[in-house]
């Protein structure tokens, strides 16, 4: 995939942190570090969106009934 050069402004402390990653060999350069961060952000957002979509499919009343059924099968609490 073709890459496009962009200019971004980031906090100076964050830049020092990125430079530290590059100096330690965790990334070959700043660009790769930023690309990796953006890729992770995209994956996290996709995962969160997928989770929200699945949660939206749940029926709260059915979930409550299942939870109550499970709790009823648990051992009773001792009397104090």
pLDDT tens digit sequence for 7-60: 999 999 999 999 999 999 999 999 999 999 999 999 999 888 888 888 889 898
| Stronger pLDDT, 18 or 2, i.e. the higher one | 18
Can you give the pLDDT at residue 55?
Answer: 85
- Rounded Cα gap, residues 66 and 60, in angstroms: 10
- Rounded Cα gap, residues 22 and 30, in angstroms: 7
First to last CA, the chain: 68
Can you give the pLDDT at residue 41?
Answer: 95
Can you give the pLDDT at residue 9?
Answer: 95
Can you give the pLDDT at residue 52?
Answer: 85
Given a cut of 90, whether residue 74 has pLDDT beyond it is no
Can you give the pLDDT at residue 20?
Answer: 98
């Amino acid at each position: 995939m073709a890459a496009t050069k962009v200019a971004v402004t980031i906090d100076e402390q964050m830049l020092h942190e990125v430079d530290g990653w590059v100096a330690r060999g965790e990334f070959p350069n700043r660009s790769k570090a930023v690309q990796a961060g953006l890729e992770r952000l995209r994956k996290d957002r996709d995962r969160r969106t997928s989770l929200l979509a699945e949660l939206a499919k749940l029926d709260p009343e059915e979930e409550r009934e299942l939870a109550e059924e499970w709790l009823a099968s648990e051992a009773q609490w001792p009397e104090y």
